[in-house]
Amino acid sequence: MQDDTRGKPRFRPKQGLKGGHGKGPRKDTPWHKDRRPQRPHEPAEDDGIVRLFGVHPVEAALRNPARVLLRLQATENAAHRLADAIAARGLSPEPVTPRDLDRLLGPDTVHQGLLLEAEPLPEPDLTDLAEAAADGGPLILLDQVTDPHNAGAILRSAAAFGASGVVTTRRHSPPLNGTLAKSASGALELVRIAQVQNLARAMQELRDAGVTILGLDGTATAALEHEPFTGPVAIVLGAEGKGLRQLTAESCDRLVKITTADDLRSLNVSNAAAVALHTALMKKSGAAR
């Protein structure tokens, strides 16, 4: 799994520069104290800056007026590919080579010649999400789903099937950038996401706002497809392997399962989210006719 925040480059003077001689910094320069220095204008890794890479995440962020953009680095080909979106935001991308971005992001990162630094999106509060769920699709609550690939795929399903929002915990959840954004393929800019300190407390707040809380559990006796999906609903999914934590399960109004064939009783968490959201969409569409 690629960590999008590691792999800062090792900057070295080029051949012929004073003090460099093509063999790295002289020991009388400040750099000898830190072999992995950052440029003065380059934010630290824990500065709260969102770093997005890849064509779809970067293009979606460029086209999202709510996203405050700070810095775009792009190869010539990538800048040409997104020329219209870049021009619409009035940006002047810093030219880089693919190797530059490999050093910044790691050689295994599929950056497609793009690295965008931006501010985090504004977070909705739980009351806003409860109101949205009253007339729209379910909310998705993630109980310590830590794999950014799974979380990103869940965001794609949330966007595709009309979820009213996603709630995650601030800890034990992947950061809302980098690998998750790449896996979400632009959906990070489309789905409203709230991060909470305590999921059980957030569930109680949603319940107080009239939201029915359904926990997906493969051992449950009730079936998800039998739910009416009337009124605001939230669906809680647990981490793959561990499932819902005990307190999370106890905080649900009821536990339900996705009916599967006898020889396949469990689904990947992102697949389960897609099935659940599609089921809810079909139920609501049928009730609206």
Residue at 184 is within a domain: yes
Q: Is 211 within 8 Å of 137 (Cβ atoms)?
A: no
pTM: 0.82
For tokens 């064509």, the residue is 55
How does residue 288 score in pLDDT terms, banded at 50, 70 and 90? low
Residue type, 267: L
Backbone angles phi, psi at 206, to 5 degrees: -65, -40
Task: Give the separation between CA 98 and CA 47, rounded to whole angstroms.
Answer: 24
Overall average pLDDT of the 214-227 stretch:
95
Number of domains in the chain: 2
Angle formed by the axes of helices 126-135 and 199-208, nearest 10°: 50
Task: Give the separation between CA 223 and CA 282, rounded to whole angstroms.
Answer: 15
pLDDT by residue (tens digit) across 162-193?
Answer: 999 999 999 999 999 999 999 999 999 999 99
Domain co-membership, 266 together with 135: yes
Residue at 9 is within a domain: no
Overall average pLDDT of the 268-288 stretch:
90
Comparing CA positions, the residue from 116, 130, 136 lying closest to residue 181 is 116
Residue at 86 is within a domain: yes
Domain of residue 181, CATH code: 3.40.1280.10
Domain co-membership, 207 together with 143: yes
Average pLDDT, the chain: 86
Domain of residue 113, CATH code: 3.30.1330
**Which structural domain, as residue segments, surrounds residue 262?**
126-288
Token code pair at residue 245: 């934590």
User: Rounded to whole angstroms, what are the CA distances from 198 to 82, 144, 167, 250, 251?
Assistant: 39, 11, 11, 14, 12
Q: What is the pLDDT of residue 149?
A: 96
Residue type, 66: A
Q: What is the pLDDT of residue 264?
A: 58
pLDDT by residue (tens digit) across 64-92?
Answer: 999 999 999 999 999 999 999 999 999 99
How does residue 267 score in pLDDT terms, banded at 50, 70 and 90? confident
Q: What is the pLDDT of residue 46?
A: 59
Domain co-membership, 94 together with 178: no
Task: Give the separation between CA 269 and CA 150, rounded to whole angstroms.
Answer: 7
Query: What are the contacts of 95-102 at 24+ separation with CB within 8 A?
Result: 100/9, 100/73, 101/53, 101/73, 101/75
Least confident range of 20-24, 115-119, 131-135, 138-142 = 20-24
Domain co-membership, 104 together with 154: no
Overall average pLDDT of the 3-28 stretch:
41
Residue at 25 is within a domain: no
Task: Give the separation between CA 153 and CA 137, rounded to whole angstroms.
Answer: 17
Final residue in a domain of this structure, among 96, 118, 140:
118
Q: What is the CA radius of gyration of the chain?
A: 22
| End-to-end Cα spacing for the chain | 44
Whether pLDDT at 271 is above 80: yes
Domain co-membership, 220 together with 168: yes
How does residue 263 score in pLDDT terms, banded at 50, 70 and 90? low
Task: Give the separation between CA 136 and CA 164, rounded to whole angstroms.
Answer: 6
Task: Give the separation between CA 73 and CA 75, rounded to whole angstroms.
Answer: 7
Say if residue 18 is exposed, middle or buried (CB neighbours under 10 Å; 0-12, 13-18, 19+): exposed
